[in-house]
């Protein structure tokens, strides 16, 4: 496997960053998770644009243009013979001192890893997830804005630990007002009466690229789409529920806090959206091979 680091493709064993890198010391950096399907990188331009937005928000200069970053991702996939896979794109503040001051850092690092991922066991895509809400709340916008995909994911990891303790794969995080925000790594949707509902971005939801794709597919399929504040009551009384994310794709949810959602099996609208999403991912994207 070849890893892209600062313009060079090196063997995995030689892929190293400094222990003084602020990405390692403080989570001072940004990242994107991207998928490749059928020899194409899905929504690559959108992922790179979001990476640059995250970097701008934390005043991190990326030493490549967006066009150069796109070419670097495609080349890394090509060298690793990726047709269906997962890409982790990372930009760190670079080496600095043991102090917090980011002005002491230099030589921002750009790292691209192209490999495989399986976020949830395959059988759960057929029978659906059981998930729970957890005490850990989503970061406040005034603290660390959830729109920033930073390397500091401790907020999500704490919630994931609580999911593990509860014996489930995923957890729902509420915001400080008690409204539904998102899961530890995915956006959350419910369907009721042919209407697709998902928490608004200001509630603490990530600006998910898969989230946006699914909302567009739902509207094209005749579903009404809204982004209201949602409570746990809204989740419990939904007809269907599912999660979306680059790694997760679309995965049905069948119970929340031990309450059966709808029939307790993946719903028909959820299955329809999964089919449409799979058709789209297999037929569009930035070509890896020409």
What tokens were used for 81?
Answer: 């013979």
Is 116 among the catalytic positions?
Answer: no
111 & 216 share domain? no
**Domain identity same for 249 and 163:** yes
Mean pLDDT across 147-151: 96
Above 90 in pLDDT, residue 49? yes
Are 65 and 178 in the same domain? no
For 12-40, what is each residue's pLDDT tens digit? 999 999 999 999 999 999 999 999 999 99
pLDDT level of residue 129 (50, 70, 90 thresholds)? very high
Domain boundary among the residues 115, 149, 175 is at 115
Averaged pLDDT score across all residues of the chain? 97
Tokens for 162, please give them.
């609580």
Could you tell me if residue 286 is inside a domain? no
- 98 and 148 fall within a common domain: no
The answer, yes or no, to whether residue 240 has pLDDT greater than 90, is yes
Give all strands (DSSP E) within the chain, no chain letters: 2-5, 8-11, 29-37, 40-41, 85-92, 109-115, 129-133, 170-174, 180-183, 187-192, 195-197, 224-226, 240-245, 249-256, 259-260, 286-287
Domain with residue 261: its CATH number is: 3.20.10.10
22-59 residues labelled b (16+ CB within 10 A) or e (exposed): bbbbbbbbbbbbbbbbebbbbbbeebbbbbbebbeeee
pLDDT at 118 over 90: no
The CA distance from 186 to 244, in Å, is 5
Closest CA to 159 of 132, 179, 177: 132
- Tens digit of pLDDT for each residue in 195-206? 999 999 999 999
What per-residue confidence (pLDDT) applies to 119?
Answer: 80
Is the domain of 165 the same as that of 207?
Answer: yes
Asked if residue 239 and residue 144 are part of one domain, the reply reads yes
- Tell me if 289 is assigned to some domain: no
Q: Which domain holds residue 19?
A: 2-115
69 and 105: one domain? yes
Say if residue 159 is in the same domain as residue 256.
Answer: yes
Distance from chain centroid for Cα 263: 28
Total domain count, the chain: 2
- CATH number, domain of 9, equals 3.30.470.10
In the predicted model, is pLDDT for residue 117 greater than 90? no
Residue 203 belongs to a domain? yes
User: Could you tell me if residue 208 is inside a domain?
Assistant: yes
CA 52 – CA 70 distance, rounded (Å): 12
Q: Of 115, 132, 156, which residue is a domain's last? A: 115
Pairing of strands 249-256, 240-245: antiparallel
CA distances from 149 to 87, 128, 183 (A): 15, 27, 14
Residues 184 and 50 placed together within one structural domain of the fold: no
Same domain, 243 and 170: yes
Judgement on whether residues 110 and 128 belong to the same structural domain of the protein: no
Say what the alpha-carbon torsion angle 89, 175, 170, 188 is, to the nearest 10 degrees.
-80
pLDDT tens across 150-168, in order? 999 999 999 999 999 999 9
CA 33 – CA 216 distance, rounded (Å):
21
| Res 214: pLDDT | 98
Mean pLDDT of the region 266-288 = 97
- CA–CA separation, 217 and 26 (whole Å): 38
pLDDT digits (tens, 9 = 90+) for 165-193: 999 999 999 999 999 999 999 999 999 99
- Judge whether 290 lies within some domain: no
Q: Which residues contact 131 (CB under 8 A, 6 or more apart)?
A: 163, 168, 169, 170, 171, 172, 183, 243, 253, 255, 256
Kindly state the DSSP code that residue 150 receives in the 8-state scheme.
B
User: How far is the C-alpha of 55 from the C-alpha of 150, rounded, in Å?
Assistant: 9
Task: Look at residues 90, 115, 140 and tell me which one is the last residue of a structural domain.
Answer: 115
Question: Of the residues 43, 149, 160, 276, which is catalytic?
Answer: 149
106/159 same-domain check: no
Residue 249 counted as domain residue? yes
Which whole number is the average pLDDT over 102-123? 93
Q: Is residue 38 part of a domain?
A: yes
Please report whether residue 287 resides in a domain. no
């Amino acid at each position: 496997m070849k890893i892209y680091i600062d313009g060079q493709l090196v063997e995995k064993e030689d892929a190293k960053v400094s222990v003084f890198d602020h990405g390692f010391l403080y989570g001072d950096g940004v990242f994107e998770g991207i998928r490749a399907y059928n020899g194409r990188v899905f929504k690559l331009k959108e992922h790179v644009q979001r990476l640059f937005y995250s970097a701008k928000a934390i005043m991190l200069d990326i030493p490549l243009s967006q066009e150069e970053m796109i070419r670097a991702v495609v080349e890394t996939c090509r060298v690793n013979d990726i047709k269906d896979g997962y890409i982790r794109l990372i930009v760190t503040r670079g080496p600095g001192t043991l102090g917090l001051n980011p002005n002491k850092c230099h030589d921002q690092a750009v790292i691209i890893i192209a490999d495989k991922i399986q976020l949830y066991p395959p059988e759960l895509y057929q029978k659906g997830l059981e998930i729970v809400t957890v005490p850990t709340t989503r970061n406040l916008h005034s603290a660390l804005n959830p729109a920033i995909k930073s390397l500091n994911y401790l907020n999500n990891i704490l919630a994931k630990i609580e999911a593990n303790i509860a014996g489930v794969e995923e957890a729902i995080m509420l915001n400080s007002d008690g409204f539904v925000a998102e899961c530890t790594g995915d956006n959350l949707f419910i369907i009721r009466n042919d209407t697709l509902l998902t928490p608004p971005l200001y509630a603490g939801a990530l600006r998910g690229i898969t989230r946006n794709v699914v909302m567009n597919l739902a509207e094209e399929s005749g579903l009404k789409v809204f982004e209201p504040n949602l409570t746990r009551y809204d989740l419990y009384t939904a007809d269907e529920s599912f999660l979306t994310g680059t790694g997760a794709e679309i995965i049905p949810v069948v119970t929340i806090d031990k309450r059966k959602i709808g029939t307790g099996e993946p719903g028909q609208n959820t299955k329809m959206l999964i089919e449409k999403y799979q058709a789209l991912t297999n037929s569009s994207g930035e070509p890896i091979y020409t």
